[in-house]
Amino acid sequence: MSSAVCLHHPDGDDWDKHCNHWERLSEANTNCRSSEPFSDLVRHRTSHLQGAWIFYVGDHEIGADLQALSEEASMPVVTREQVLPASSGVMRRFTGDESVSREVGAALDYFLCSQMPVFIGNSVSPWSASQIVIRDTVASWYNSFGIPLADVFRAYTIPLVYTYTEESSPTGKVLLQISILSVKRVMPTASIHILYHGSGDGELRGWLTQHGVVLYDHRPTWRDQIEQMRLKGNRLASHLYANAGNYLGTWQRIDIPQFLSVEYCILLDSDAFVVRAFTIADIGHSIPRGLAFSSELNEDDGQPSNAGVALLNVPFLRESVERFHAFVVNHGDPNFARGPSDQGAYMEFYENDLQFLSTRFNMKPYYKNAHNWDTRFILHYHGLKPSDHIKYWFSGICEPLQCFLIFLFEGVPYQCDAMVDFAKAAAFEGPGLIRQYCDLSTSNYSDLCTGLLGLMADHGLPGRTCAAYCERALAQRGLNPADFPYRH
């Protein structure tokens, strides 16, 4: 059944009654039925699949529009009666009751469906909703938006996706591993996916597989055009232009709709770390028809402007993926009307379909809102990385852009608590990743960096100052704090 798609389509009289009741309960309950042609809804959720066939579970025979899609896409559509021709007769014979046999048939459909790798259903239906939850929400629902059961059954984790190329910097590789461990630490059942470019790093591939990460072999056809854009970029304006691998990694995300069979996912940069478990219910009414970004430097502006953490409606993006690709490669210039590179491209092309994602899902270390900080789900080291702070604390020296950001956000209240979040994720499976990160990113101060992050991981207390941690890290090595120009 490796190429099977289970398609659940409730459309009988009892379903109409259910929808009418559901919609009367609240004005927000508008996603029980869709006005879009059913074949289009299915097409947007299957067009990326190769050699697929559909197992249809519905209240009526397969509709003419779905039959037409089946012929157009060379994608057979079958029912239980076709897969198991004798099933209905056998059930009637042994139950002697048509209504009972229908329920038994539904149970058999459910079992068969649960063995299939791809699921598409209606999230308002408890039958579909239960299929979605047993798959850790790695599923699609053609009515999009929320899942009613998610409000009472908080098990609908959102699939998380990264992009990675082996051409990235070694530090980026370690940050990716730490980010994945942050998910494993607080959301062990969440599904994790990576669009992976490269074939030489067997050690990393093994580590990812060992941690249950789903890898997709990614060979972007647009690589050369993106590299030409990078070469035109201003390296003083963004560090991404200085490294071909890092730049490619940010653009890999535009191919996500061609790989993941999900309705929604959250895209994470490798410098974003999950610190509190969340489900689709925590998105609330912000769940988008297209995509959602959060704020960038200004946490209070309410503007969707930072793509480092992004909530994506995958079928919606799949519908427009070819047009978006053409828009990007024909642009030629790395700067777009709403910003540079992939972030600017998304914001310009999807301007009318871009919503705001709460800063709780994209909390920066320099943000100040106490409530959002206390209830944060994802910490994003946007701009300065932990090593930038650590090198400055122990040397008093920084690069011009780093100095600008350090002084711009001097005195913010949660900078050290953010570092504790990072340290706890890095140390989740032992001290090895802390040592690797410090060796790669802090050169002469690696031992102090390792000691500092180790202390934070073991003894993290909210509100403790970075200066206090630095003093203890220095004292552990018999060094005099007065000899070091670290900052509070």
| 308-321 pLDDT tens trace | 999 999 999 999 99
**What pLDDT score was predicted for residue 97?**
57
Q: Fill in the amino acid letter for 432.
A: G
What string of DSSP letters covers 359-387? GGGSB-TT---HHHHHT-SEEE--SS-HH
**What pLDDT score was predicted for residue 101?**
63
CA 309 to chain centre: 7
Q: Which tens digits make up the pLDDT trace of 148-161?
A: 999 899 999 999 99
User: Do 262 and 140 form a contact (C-beta atoms < 8 A)?
Assistant: yes
First to last CA, the chain: 59
306, 308, 313, 319: CA torsion to nearest 10: 90
d(CA 198, CA 167): 8
Q: Fill in the amino acid letter for 228.
A: Q
Q: Fill in the amino acid letter for 117.
A: P
Using a 10 angstrom Cβ sphere, with 0-12 exposed, 13-18 middle and 19 or more buried, the burial of residue 92 is middle
**What pLDDT score was predicted for residue 87?**
55
**What pLDDT score was predicted for residue 457?**
95
Mean pLDDT taken over the chain: 92
Q: Which tens digits make up the pLDDT trace of 159-183?
A: 999 999 999 999 999 999 999 999 9
Q: Which tens digits make up the pLDDT trace of 11-23?
A: 999 999 999 998 8
Q: Looking at per-residue confidence, does 269 or 34 come out higher?
A: 269
Reported as type and span, the H/E element at residue 68 is helix 64-73
Furthest-apart CA pair in the chain: how many Å?
Answer: 89
Q: How confident is the model at residue 89 (pLDDT cuts 50, 70, 90)?
A: low
SS3 content of the chain, % helix, strand, coil (to 5): 50, 15, 35
User: Do 353 and 291 form a contact (C-beta atoms < 8 A)?
Assistant: yes
CA 96 to chain centre: 49
Q: What pTM value is reported for the model?
A: 0.94
- Ramachandran sector of residue 238 (left: φ over 0; alpha: ψ -120 to 50; beta: rest): beta
**What pLDDT score was predicted for residue 447?**
96
Token pair for 442 = 């802090």
Q: Which percentage of the chain shows pLDDT scores above 70?
A: 95
Q: Looking at per-residue confidence, does 234 or 54 come out higher?
A: 54
Q: At which residue do the structure tokens 């203890």 appear?
A: 472
- Mean pLDDT for the stretch of residues 351-372: 96
Q: How confident is the model at residue 445 (pLDDT cuts 50, 70, 90)?
A: very high
φ/ψ (deg, to 5) at 272 = -115, 140
Q: How confident is the model at residue 369 (pLDDT cuts 50, 70, 90)?
A: very high
Beta bridge partners, 152, equal none
**What pLDDT score was predicted for residue 261?**
97
**What pLDDT score was predicted for residue 95?**
54
- Mean pLDDT for the stretch of residues 262-291: 94
Q: Which tens digits make up the pLDDT trace of 207-264?
A: 999 999 999 999 999 999 999 999 988 877 677 788 888 899 999 999 999 999 999 9
Using a 10 angstrom Cβ sphere, with 0-12 exposed, 13-18 middle and 19 or more buried, the burial of residue 335 is middle
**What pLDDT score was predicted for residue 1?**
57
Q: Which tens digits make up the pLDDT trace of 98-139?
A: 555 677 788 889 999 999 999 999 999 999 999 999 999 999
Q: 3-state class of 402 per DSSP?
A: helix
What string of DSSP letters covers 101-147? HHHHHHHHHHHHHHTSSEEEE-TTSHHHHHHHHHTTT-SEETT-S--
Half-sphere exposure of 325 (CA within 13 A, CB side): 16
Token pair for 338 = 């709403």
d(CA 184, CA 425): 9
Beta bridge partners, 58, equal 9
Q: Which stretch of 168-182, 361-375, 395-409 has the lowest confidence by average pLDDT?
A: 395-409
**What pLDDT score was predicted for residue 270?**
96
